[in-house]
Chains A and B, each alone.
Chain A
Amino acid sequence: MRKVRAAAAPYLLALPAWIWFAIFFVVPIAAMASVSLTTGNLLEGFQQTFSFSNYAKAVGQYHTQLIRSLIYGGIATLIMLVLAYPMAYWIAFKGGRRKSMYLFLLLLPFFVSFVLRTISWGFLLADDGILFGPLKSAGLLPGDFHVLATDVAVIGGLVYNFLPFMVLPIYVALERVDPRVVEAAYDLYASRWAAFRKVVLPLSLPGVFAGVLMTFVPATADPVNARILGGTGNTMIGNIIQTEYLTNNDYPTASALSFTLMAVLLVGIFVYARSLGTENVLEAAAR
């Protein structure tokens, strides 16, 4: 009797989460797949026609925004990598007893709502705001100078909002590098640069991979920064999907578009994760 109960234990423990994932994650993705293959409209109803015309329509109509999102996401991720690595390096190797204080400061923005943080950037960058207003009245900037509603504002916002997700995994990977390994490189007459390039950098690559994963996906799919900091010329795919679903109620096109976005992103991720092993990525992501 006891044995039977013990054997059932993992299934009983996993059951509630399985049910949740099944009903609210697997089934909805399937529902979205099925909706993306329907035709019709909200008033007359949607028929399951298994036609891929929605995909052709979605991609044909919105490829500009899709490509723009990938470019914004890609550039933002690259900038984050360049900004994050030196900081993560310094905290991991030179942070000493203050390491946790630096990490705490790094995470401080997360105590403010994402939307509110982005809006605060809007305040800062406003055409006559506290940054540019005085500069303009002092004649240091031309009167029509603006940053809001440009690529720079949106990409800057993405970098700002997701930077900690790049720093943390790189920091974790660097923190685990055994200092004796680096010393061994010096003992073998490696220069500082050679020791970094041949020892530290390769050991930190899992962190870099995890960081890229954790920033590229949310940055590419983010609708908030483009909405608050961008103009009509900076619309990203996230904004389009929201509008199609919530304003136009064009569920088939919106579903097709969501699927296309997910396919583009997930194919990339899983190729990425496979080459690393999912457990490693998750592990790096969890710490």
Chain B
Amino acid sequence: MRGRLGDRLLHVYTWLIIAWLTAPIAVMILFGFNDKQSKSNTSWQGFTLRWYGELFADGSLTGALVNSLEIAVISTVLTTVIGTLLGLALGRYRFRGKGMSNFLVFAAISTPELVMGASLLSLFVSGNTPRGLLTITIAHVLFSLSFVVVTVRARVVGLDPSLEEAARDLGAGTWTTFRLVTLPAIMPAVFAGALLAFALSIDDYVVTSFVNGSTLTFPLWIIGSVKVGIPPQVNVMGTLIFGIGVAIAIGNAIASRRRT
């Protein structure tokens, strides 16, 4: 009896935490519809769809969003390729430098973002490298790389080696075996890693704030305008990104359920 009550309390508790975690999202979505008159967008003043219509009215905000998307796409592609290759090497082979590679992957994950950004800036300052889209992309590849490696490595370790042996026994070459057997088998992990890299990139503020020069990304633009007031378009863009992300995640979950 006592156990039942405890369980019910924990059930309620879990939902309370979830409500707390999602409250700011509701606020963000709500204030995208706020018909605000004053400068600050903190009190509710009526419903409007105006900000959806004027979504791209602020050129610099739109530019920052475009920068973010551009960086996210390029860095995701790079990270996924480089990270998948290392993940394959670490999951499949024993080789000199394996311990060091594992250490680097772990160190890159556990280094505070702040230190990563600061050290990259030190490098770029020492080398007189102009900061902008290129340096931001480089940084984003660096901090997402380990996550792709870890994801792919876990999948490769769990792979049945006899599948590839069978392919080779049937006369497939190294490349053919990889393309027709290994790659499809690790694809879910590669895809998951890519999604993670994209999410990390589009969301990053700390590292980017060190290496951006005068280029602004979406998070940097937002934090830069906190003091003067966030325009409702930011809420609308946040809402749209949220909606698209959730739709992709649910779609992916349904698709993978159908596959198995």
Contact = CB atoms under 8 A, between A and B. Distances in A.
Contacts of B245: 111
A119 B222 contact: yes
Interface in A1-57: 5-6, 9-11, 13-14, 16-18, 20-21, 24-29, 31-32, 34-35
Interface of B is mostly: helix
A241 B226 CA distance: 20
B168 to A, nearest CB: 11
A264 to B, nearest CB: 10
Interface string B110-139: 111111101111110110000000000011
Nearest to B118: A258
B218 interface: yes
B210 interface: yes
A27 B127 CA distance: 11
B75 to A, nearest CB: 11
Interface of A is mostly: helix
A128 B42 contact: yes
B24 A224 contact: no
Given A116-B238, A228-B226, A245 B118 contact: yes
B145 A108 contact: no
Question: What band does the interface of chain A fall in when counting residues whose beta carbon is under 8 Å from B?
Answer: 35 or more
Contacts of B90: 14
B145 to A, nearest CB: 6
Contact of A246 (B94, B154, B210): B210
B85 A217 contact: no
B10 interface: yes
Contact of A20 (B2, B118, B145, B241): B145
B42 A218 contact: no
B88 A114 contact: no
Nearest to A114: B203
A17 B101 contact: yes
Contacts of B7: 90, 94
B21 A163 contact: yes
Contacts of A286: 150-151, 154
B113 to A, nearest CB: 7
B50 interface: no
Contacts of B174: 5-6, 9
Given A13-B86, A105-B18, A262-B115, A112 B139 contact: no
A13 B24 CA distance: 43
A126 interface: yes
A159 to B, nearest CB: 10
B14 A91 contact: yes
B123 A108 contact: no
Question: What band does the interface of chain B fall in when counting residues whose beta carbon is under 8 Å from A?
Answer: 35 or more
Interface in A73-124: 83, 86-87, 89-91, 94, 100, 102, 104-106, 108-117, 119-124
A285 B196 CA distance: 14
Contacts of B3: 192
Interface in B236-260: 238, 241-242, 245-246, 249, 253
B113 A221 contact: yes
Interface stretch (B25-33, B51-59, B159-167): B25-33
Contacts of B116: 25
Nearest to A11: B95
A17 B83 contact: yes
B21 A255 contact: no
Contacts of B27: 120, 123-124, 130
B118 A25 contact: no
B97 A112 contact: no
Nearest to B81: A16
B97 A14 contact: yes
Contacts of A14: 85-86, 89-90, 95, 97, 101
A130 B43 contact: yes
A78 B159 CA distance: 38
Contacts of A27: 123
B104 interface: yes
B92 interface: yes
8 contacts: A17-B145, A20-B145, A28-B122, A32-B118, A111-B25, A112-B24, A242-B114, A278-B103
Interface of B: 2-3, 7, 10-11, 13-14, 17-18, 20-25, 27-28, 31, 41-44, 81-83, 85-86, 88-90, 92-95, 97-98, 101-116, 118-123, 125-126, 138-139, 141-142, 145, 149-151, 154, 174, 199, 202-203, 205-206, 209-210, 218-219, 222-223, 226, 230, 234-235, 238, 241-242, 245-246, 249, 253
- The 3 A-B pairs of least Cβ separation, nearest first, read A120-B24, A10-B93, A221-B112
